[in-house]
């Protein structure tokens, strides 16, 4: 089947670099005389037949822009077969020959579901700051999220040192500690709490207090930066804050980075990754591939079946975990 008209969506949480990926898809497709259609707001756009035509002139000067010009959304309706069928009908009505989905695990599950009702090629590009997608070393937006977290920790350390405070820095990641782990290492944080290793509030509090004692024995009174993945502490960070103050008498402050990690201009690593994956996704489709994610391993693009992505957990780097306690002990 000749590939004449290609569609692209950005789905789920936005990530810095999605625009760079859209740009690469558009430029690579246009070089092969393939028309590109961008559906707005992810799967919602497929259901509503809401789209725009993308051209090379439209994506000019786009690589450095955060967010996504196609907008993004989570679509609960896409869990229902009737809406998936409607999306398939709309794609056929619009003479679409292939679809590229830029998003995370949930978006890829939606793509796989769509493939049950639509017999054209579907390729995924991993776009999520969490970096929790199996089969690829990195995901679009992950490096920028780390950079944002590191810059924030660097700045808050100044005020922490001035007042000998404890800061709890809340970073995104849901059930994956990639951002927390690597931003803690890169910023020289004193302690990090990860969903992969969290035991209980009581045990983790003991670990934190033990680390505080050791640091103060080594450096007398000083600041203490604790990086923690969002929604990890039972009952919320205010409970941890109160517990630490009760045990130490030291002023404790909470810094919640929140959605600021999703915004801003993508760093060069995400621009390069997004461009590589967008180009590869079009190339893979031209080569007849479907039902796969365009990933990257050892800096080379690879095709990974959706079923592998869904059924395989992605683990934290074991060496980073091994060295974590050593480099945060005396800092």
The string of pLDDT tens digits covering residues 283-315 is 999 999 999 999 999 999 999 999 999 888 899
Instruction: Check residue 222 and give its pLDDT.
Output: 67
The 8-class DSSP code of residue 205 comes to: H
The string of pLDDT tens digits covering residues 119-133 is 999 999 999 999 999
Q: Please list, in sequence order, all residues whose beta carbon lies within 8 angstroms of the beta carbon of residue 228, skipping any fewer than 6 positions away.
A: 168, 169, 170, 171, 180, 192, 193, 237, 240
Q: Which residue has the tokens 């780097």?
A: 317
User: At residue 329, does pLDDT exceed 70?
Assistant: no
Which candidate in 50, 81, 97, 130 is catalytic?
130
Domains of the chain: 5-141+266-311 (3.40.50.450), 144-262 (3.40.50.460)
Cα(180)–Cα(267) distance, integer angstroms: 18
Q: Which residue has the higher pLDDT, 156 or 273?
A: 273
Instruction: Check residue 331 and give its pLDDT.
Output: 47
Cα(86)–Cα(255) distance, integer angstroms: 44
Instruction: Check residue 139 and give its pLDDT.
Output: 97
Instruction: Check residue 7 and give its pLDDT.
Output: 98
The string of pLDDT tens digits covering residues 26-85 is 999 999 999 999 999 999 999 999 999 999 999 999 999 999 999 998 898 999 999 999
Number of neighbouring beta carbons within 10 Å of residue 275: 20
Instruction: Check residue 310 and give its pLDDT.
Output: 85
130 is catalytic: yes
Cα(320)–Cα(189) distance, integer angstroms: 14
Tell me the pTM.
0.93
The string of pLDDT tens digits covering residues 132-145 is 999 999 999 999 99
Per DSSP (E only), the strands in 153-251 are: 166-171, 191-193, 224-229
The string of pLDDT tens digits covering residues 197-241 is 999 999 999 999 988 888 777 665 567 899 999 999 999 999 999
Write out the DSSP string of 241-291: HHHHHHHH---EEEEE-GGGGG-SPPPHHHHHHHHHHHHHHHHHHHTT--S
User: At residue 263, does pLDDT exceed 90?
Assistant: no
Instruction: Check residue 158 and give its pLDDT.
Output: 80
User: At residue 102, does pLDDT exceed 80?
Assistant: yes
């Amino acid at each position: 089947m000749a590939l004449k008209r290609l569609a692209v969506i950005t789905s789920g949480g936005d990530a810095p670099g999605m625009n760079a990926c859209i740009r690469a898809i558009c430029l690579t497709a246009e070089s092969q005389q393939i028309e590109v259609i961008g559906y707005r707001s992810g799967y919602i756009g497929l259901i509503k037949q809401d789209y725009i035509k993308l051209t090379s002139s439209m994506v000019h000067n786009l690589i450095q822009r955060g967010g996504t010009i196609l907008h993004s959304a989570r679509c609960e309706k896409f869990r229902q077969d009737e809406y998936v069928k409607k999306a398939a009908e709309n794609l056929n009505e619009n003479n679409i020959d292939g679809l590229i989905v830029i998003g995370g695990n949930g978006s890829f599950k939606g793509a796989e579901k769509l493939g049950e009702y639509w017999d054209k090629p579907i390729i995924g590009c991993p776009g999520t700051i969490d970096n929790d997608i199996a089969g690829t070393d990195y995901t679009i937006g992950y490096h920028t999220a780390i950079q944002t977290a590191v810059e924030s920790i660097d700045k808050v350390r100044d005020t922490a040192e001035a007042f000998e405070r404890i800061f709890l820095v809340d970073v995104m990641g849901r059930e994956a500690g990639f951002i927390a782990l690597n931003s803690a290492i890169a910023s020289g944080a004193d302690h990090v709490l990860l969903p992969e290793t969290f035991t209980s509030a009581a045990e983790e509090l003991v670990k934190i207090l033990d680390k505080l004692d050791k640091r103060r024995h080594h450096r007398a009174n000083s600041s203490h930066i604790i990086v923690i993945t969002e929604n990890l502490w039972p009952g919320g960070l205010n409970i941890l804050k109160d517990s630490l103050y009760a045990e130490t008498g030291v002023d404790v402050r909470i810094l919640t980075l929140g959605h600021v990690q999703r915004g801003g201009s993508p760093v060069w690593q995400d621009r390069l990754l997004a461009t590589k994956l967008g180009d590869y996704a079009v190339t893979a489709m031209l080569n007849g591939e479907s039902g796969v994610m365009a990933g990257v391993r050892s800096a080379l693009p690879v095709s990974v079946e959706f079923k592998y992505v869904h059924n395989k957990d992605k683990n934290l780097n074991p060496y980073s975990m091994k060295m974590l306690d050593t480099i945060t002990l005396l800092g």
